[in-house]
Structure 1
């Protein structure tokens, strides 16, 4: 090898090592929200053998999902720390935080099962009588369906869904002390959707507005056509850009009948950003001056991340943190529009109430929302007025 060629090879190897090192450094200093769950739970709802076009049909499917998640939860409690850590994809397992959220889920599941079983009749499916949470845990721990029968195709697929979904939640729980998220709250002033009544749901959309005549406008037209209201958590930068295309009065008309909260000035973690207070104040001021009739005193933190000591700041500004308990994952390239809507419907059956998170800058909600409305028509589901939620 010539000296020149050897020098070139050495330089190439050096550059490659530097590139790898820089990549590692970037990864090491990137916020943890950049690394999402290893898998995103999705399921084919056509495996369920009946439509959800009545309250009894909704309740029957709800009981099945509650028991199935309970079975996954019970199974996870038999995993040792190493196995659980690997399953949820964290380097260090915060067992105390995980156990705390497990206890919360058991309580919610038992309550949901009782509500879904209130109108059970003799011979109805998934209607074992329970008196308390202990009874429910026992029933859920041994839940399974016959290998032959109307639920035989649904059960293995749903168990896979519920295990993956549970791992999403337990991952967030384990990270919560270092990276806050929607999985838990710091005070009762933070809203999650769990405070809603049975069968009540609220649609919410993050990251807008889009450019004029884009996804946001199409979604607003769809909502009005279906006589629905929703809460839009807008970014200050996006709202400012839209004001370069659309006047404030036109935007006020665009959002008429909806609620507009703030998502901060930029899509950054408000748990670590030094300027998080200014971000909220500046963006809320722009919302109130642009769409005063639609402005709602709610802040949704990007990634659900906010400081544990931020409560006094929000209280002093008359704001509440608005999280969610049903994540559509519509931003993720791992799931398509059909998987998004099937996921949301399954989680509606599981939690029986809640705030649903979509993003109006992505097109998946445009097909998901009308489908969800059609699937639950006749099931006594109530889509609440956004003005009542604050």
Structure 2
């Protein structure tokens, strides 16, 4: 979520969750290897969530570094996230074998998972101490990131929750299924991003800004844009990068950018999706989007690649950690930055055949 330069600075994470998954010495590149690493990561994540200390409103405001709190929204997100963690652990445990410390159960609900996770982790040997410490710190920081967004919602809308069936985030996808998305282009790194994807046999959905597309069209012409996005998918990110929850002209932004896309690129390249900048849109916008046949395309795996403090290695490691915990989803990157092009080859190599990367055209069809 690129919050820099936004009026919505309040929702940006003060501390970004990072880790070094090389402390997990087993490979992730097979379904079994991915599931074992996912089970272990989910145990740490569930243990951390289960052990969240009770805090009153003043303590939460200080911890999350916000000025106002929507307790109902926070509680709703925590309940949903606990259910997701329990479900994901069940999926990761399908191939469990006796004697594997990452296999615990039977588990009736999240509470039993949290308790079992704490017991399993307490008995770990010294060889996994560094990994355990890394995953615990990562889980704590990531939960704070997400709790902050939930506590601000819906006053500051974001990807943390949806407003209706016309919206989705990626939590709805099949297990071990992931889609790549890039925001804010076309920009200085779009060509390099496109070339990287081609080298690895992947494609992605590019959520473009109308003003950037118009500038590139004026400079290079339509044929160059056809070549740039050949084999990829393109959808709208609005006309300019500003909050569509605080802009009287947000509907014009959606319609004008869509018209430019349809007049510039072939229909086979375009998806009927709109991704609001910063994830911000009004709670009552569903009637408009439904009438226009547009899905609001959010995300559930945020690379934070706009953060100056994160290099490509940190971004790749962050995304691997989130993929182990979430087990499905829509990955958010930006092709106006170059870090994704450097980070993703390592992600692809680490995961091998353990997960699927469906064709970008399936993204709209699956929802």
Q: TM-score, normalised by structure 1?
A: 0.88
**How big is the shift at 1:62?**
0.5
- Distance in 1 separating the partners of 2:66 and 2:117: 27
**How big is the shift at 1:155?**
0.7
- Distance in 2 separating the partners of 1:161 and 1:113: 18
- Distance in 2 separating the partners of 1:344 and 1:312: 34
1:297 pairs with 2:286: no
**How big is the shift at 1:333?**
1.1
1:207 pairs with 2:184: yes
1:74 pairs with 2:57: no
State the match for 1:129 in structure 2: 105
- Distance in 2 separating the partners of 1:303 and 1:266: 12
Tell me which of the two structures has the higher relative contact order, counting C-alpha pairs closer than 8 angstroms and 6 or more residues apart: 2
Preserved contact between residue 200 and residue 382 of structure 1 (Cα < 8 Å): yes
1:221 pairs with 2:198: no
Classify the secondary structure of the residue corresponding to 1:365: helix
Preserved contact between residue 270 and residue 307 of structure 1 (Cα < 8 Å): yes
**How big is the shift at 1:125?**
2.6
Deviations 1:101-138 (A, max 9, x none): 00000110111000000000111131002342142233
Deviations 1:218-259 (A, max 9, x none): 111111121111000000011011112211122112211111
1:321 pairs with 2:296: yes
Structure 2: gaps spanning 5 or more residues: 1-5
Between 243-252 and 77-86, report the one with greater CA deviation: 77-86
**Structure 1 pair 106/35, CA: closer, same or farther in 2 (3 Å)?**
closer
Preserved contact between residue 49 and residue 150 of structure 1 (Cα < 8 Å): no
**How big is the shift at 1:195?**
1.1
Preserved contact between residue 11 and residue 156 of structure 2 (Cα < 8 Å): no
Aligned length: 357
Preserved contact between residue 166 and residue 289 of structure 2 (Cα < 8 Å): no
| Aligned-residue RMSD, C-alpha | 1.5
- Distance in 2 separating the partners of 1:175 and 1:238: 30
**How big is the shift at 1:386?**
0.8
Structure 1: gaps spanning 5 or more residues: 1-29
State the match for 1:255 in structure 2: 229
**How big is the shift at 1:95?**
1.6
Between 348-357 and 289-298, report the one with greater CA deviation: 289-298
State the match for 2:8 in structure 1: 32
1:51 pairs with 2:23: no
Matching residue within 130, 140, 143 for 1:166: 143
- Distance in 2 separating the partners of 1:263 and 1:349: 28
Matching residue within 236, 239, 243 for 1:269: 243
Classify the secondary structure of the residue corresponding to 1:382: coil
State the match for 2:160 in structure 1: 183
State the match for 1:284 in structure 2: 258
**Structure 1 pair 148/137, CA: closer, same or farther in 2 (3 Å)?**
closer
- Distance in 2 separating the partners of 1:298 and 1:39: 31
State the match for 2:334 in structure 1: 359
Classify the secondary structure of the residue corresponding to 2:273: strand
State the match for 1:377 in structure 2: 352
Q: TM-score, normalised by structure 2?
A: 0.94
Preserved contact between residue 219 and residue 366 of structure 1 (Cα < 8 Å): yes
**Structure 1 pair 217/137, CA: closer, same or farther in 2 (3 Å)?**
same
Matching residue within 230, 237, 242 for 2:216: 242
State the match for 1:333 in structure 2: 308
**How big is the shift at 1:152?**
1.0
**Structure 1 pair 87/116, CA: closer, same or farther in 2 (3 Å)?**
same
1:107 pairs with 2:83: yes
Deviations 1:61-90 (A, max 9, x none): 101211211122122253333333222211
